[in-house]
Structure 1
Amino acid sequence: MTLRWKNILYTLGLFSAMFLVWHYRQDKTAELIWFQGKTMGPITYNVKYADPKKRNFKKEVDSLLVVFNQSLNTYIPTSEISKFNTSDEFQFKLPFFYEALSVSKDIYEKTEGAFDPSIGPYINAWGFGPEDGFIPDSVYIDSLSQFVGYEKVSFTNDIVTKSDSRVNISFSASAKGYGVDVVAEYLESKNIENYFVEIGGEVRVKGKNVASNKSWSVGILHPDSDELQQKFFAIVQLKDQALATSGNYFNYHIVEGVKYGHTIDPKTGYPIEHKLLSASVFAPTCHEADALATAFMVMGKETTIQFLENHKEYDAYLLFSNDDGSISAFATAGIENSIEKTQ
């Protein structure tokens, strides 16, 4: 099975899991407007909201996401980010590029480089990008390191530059979360007070599920899930917050009996090796949550817990393996009462 199909199945699985939780909890005596579509290639999005005026914003959301992709999708040759990656300097016009650059810099600095949008060369080398990969040796990794590092990228309100022409950036590790925010903020501009927005498993909610008169419910996948059979480790109740999860559930290679996960450490150029299985991050915006979830998977359990102690504005639910192979969970104080384990 190709990596692209693994990603498609993973996305479909996440959507199915979330829909089952929502459908299980809802009371059909109330009405929600619900529509879905595709964005960022094969990724499914879902939008649910209550609106006394019964307005359907699907056309507007689709149009908004098309423009979003035209700014930040590296698979579109004419996108703003693709044009920047083939030049030393680029003047962008769409509003999304600056926000992506700015939030990425903030998380890059907060995590001391654990989140880095410039690691594309490493990702391609290990076969997790659009190019075929192989198992690179240390000499090759060292040769790539000279043009990896987000500090090589500088930007103003409308111009982005790089200190080395070989530097390439990608916001794929946070784009789904950012897209969720873009849609959520559009709904808020239309005075929607109760909504659920999800893109590829990343979620932002406001208010409540009016169909059940309860908080929005989202499932956190069990690490033993596979592409075709998902099961929940826990159910979380969300209100007025965003949630993003990162893990090496399905996106990995096995070469000569060795499993290589898709999470690459920007500081070493190698896939991470620790016992953190997944990181679910709760934040005011899904953009931040998505970027931090990626960073936490690089940082590992202990460093992540220390980070959370110093950054009380974020909460997290971490799943990790024990020496005996069992799975345990860690929850920050801010969300531990909102989580119901299913195992």
Structure 2
Amino acid sequence: MRHILFFGSMLLFFACNNPEQKKDQDKGYLMIEGQTMGTYYRITYQDSLNLNIQSEVEKSLAELNAELSTYDSTSLISAFNQSTAIQFNIPLRARHFLANLNKSAEVYRSSKGAFDPTVAPLVNYWGFGYTGSKPVTEVDSTTIKALLDLVGMSKLNWTTRGDSVLIRKQMPGIKLDFNAIAPGYAVDELGRVLEAKKIYNYLIDIGGEVLAKGRNPQGKDWVLGITTPKEGAESTDIQTTVPLHNQALATSGNYRKYYSVKGVKYSHTLNPKTGFPERSKLLSATVIAPDAMTADAYATVCMVLGLEKGLALIESLPNLEAYFIYGDPKGAMLVKYTSKFKDDR
């Protein structure tokens, strides 16, 4: 779950007679917004030519959903999940699906399995997936164990055959869910749409997955606020602010998307190795990366690994920074961050 507040970008849209807004409009900064992937998208960008990019943006998002949305029964990923065959052909033109598949395999390897889109059957079992929100009232360890047999990117392999990619499943029940990486990919894809139109100063946000390029209307770096990870917190309850230098940012946390049964709290972050929602002192993980797809994936990885292992992993990877908020036994909120985060801020 991503919760980000923007500084230096949204303030100019609050009042038509705001002098600062007029100043920013003169610089050619515009904002468009809409709905996609079950959430919002919002793009702030400099466009002195007054180009109409919204129709192209929405066309691109529709193409993404046609390949990646598990909530669309006619999408390519839904066809893969519904298939009972152990072999499935993906056309090479389905570049969005294949990009998410290959990046997922990369993060799966680097995280030693903490990131795994084949966790889809478990996500559905726990009531956080595309089969609908159905909280588990009685945990069935036998069912979880059986579902774990379907989990593991190593249980898939794929090769290019002519104009398609042949994916082989070890068993027909293996399914994919790219929801922990596809929003970030969509942000990057919209960045490519804007830059094809020679728009280089922009902030793209899809449900809290953010890519910031160039300068904001004040001619400075885009600055974002990370909200305090506590139940009932307002979006204006800010823990810290972060300037971005042509970077992407994603925050993952368990404090809003969860349910409680018989006093036990179950969150949407599932551990692919145990089959259970991950429980740790880590409340939220913010990752900064060169692209939103990477930031999105590793924010989820950190929530699965927990504070110490997540911190160690991000420290070991080039071009990544992270900011963690965690709780102590007395209920206080504490922070840790990577050395690269400290040095750059």
TM-score (norm 1): 0.89
Once the 2 structures are TM-superposed, how far is the Cα of residue 213 of structure 1 from its aligned partner? Answer: 1.6
* Aligned-residue offset at 1:215: 1.0
Aligned to 2:237: 231
Tell me the secondary structure at the aligned position of residue 108 of structure 2. Answer: helix
Distance 1:229 1:203, change over 3 A: closer
**RMSD of aligned residue pairs (Cα, Å):** 2.0
Residue number among 144, 147, 164 corresponding to 2:150 in the alignment: 147
Question: Contact (CA 8 Å) 2:81, 2:174: kept in 1 or not?
Answer: yes
**In the alignment, which residue of structure 1 is the partner of 2:35?**
38
In structure 2, give the amino acid aligned to 1:169.
Answer: L
Structure 1's 238 and 66: CA in aligned 2 closer, same or farther, altered over 3 A?
same
Cα distance in structure 1, aligned partners of 2:262 and 2:236: 27
**What runs of 5+ residues in structure 1 fail to find an aligned partner?**
1-9
Query: What residue in structure 2 maps to residue 300 of structure 1?
Result: 306
Residues 229 and 201 of structure 1: CA distance in aligned 2, closer, same or farther (over 3 Å): closer
Correspondences of 1:187-198 after superposition (within 5 Å):
187-198=194-205
Q: Separation in 2 of the partners of 1:232 and 1:184?
A: 27
The worse-fitting range, judged by mean Cα deviation, of 78-87 and 194-203 is 78-87
Q: Is the 8 A contact 2:209 2:249 kept in 1?
A: yes
| TM-score, normalised relative to structure 2 | 0.88
Structure-1 residue corresponding to 2:57: 61
In our comparison, the structure showing a higher alpha carbon Rg is 2
- Structure 2 regions of 5+ residues with no counterpart? 14-19
User: Aligned partners of 2:218, 2:10: CA distance in 1, in Å?
Assistant: 10
Q: Which residue matches 2:113?
A: 113
Residues 315, 339 of structure 2: 8 Å contact kept: no
Matches of 1:262 and 1:230 in 2, distance apart? 23
Note the C-alpha offset of 1:325.
1.3
2:233, 2:180 → 1: CA distance?
20
Q: Give the Cα–Cα distance (whole angstroms) in 2 for the partners of residues 97 and 126 of structure 1.
A: 25
- C-alpha contact (below 8 Å) 2:114/2:304 kept by paired residues: yes
3-state secondary structure, aligned to 1:37: strand
Paired with 1:234 and 1:337, the residues of 2 have a C-alpha distance of 16
Identity percentage of aligned residues? 36
Distance 2:104 2:271 in 1: 16
Residue identity in the other structure for 2:100: A
Equivalences for residues 61-80 of structure 1 within 5 A: 61-80=57-76
**Which of residues 257, 263, 269 in structure 1 aligns to 2:263?**
257
Q: Is the contact made by 2:227 and 2:235 (CA closer than 8 Å) also made in structure 1?
A: no
* Secondary structure of the corresponding residue to residue 169 of structure 1: coil
Q: What residue number does 1:4 align with?
A: none
**Residues 1:24 and 1:51: Cα distance change in structure 2 (over 3 Å):** closer
The alignment status of 1:335 with 2:336, answered yes or no, reads: no
CA deviation vs aligned residue, 1:234-290 (integer Å, no higher than 9, x gap): 111112010011001210011011111111100000111211110111111101110
| Aligned residue-pair number | 324
Kept in 2, the 8 Å contact 1:197–1:205? The answer is: yes
Task: Tell me the distance in 2 between the aligned counterparts of 1:231 and 1:65.
Answer: 30
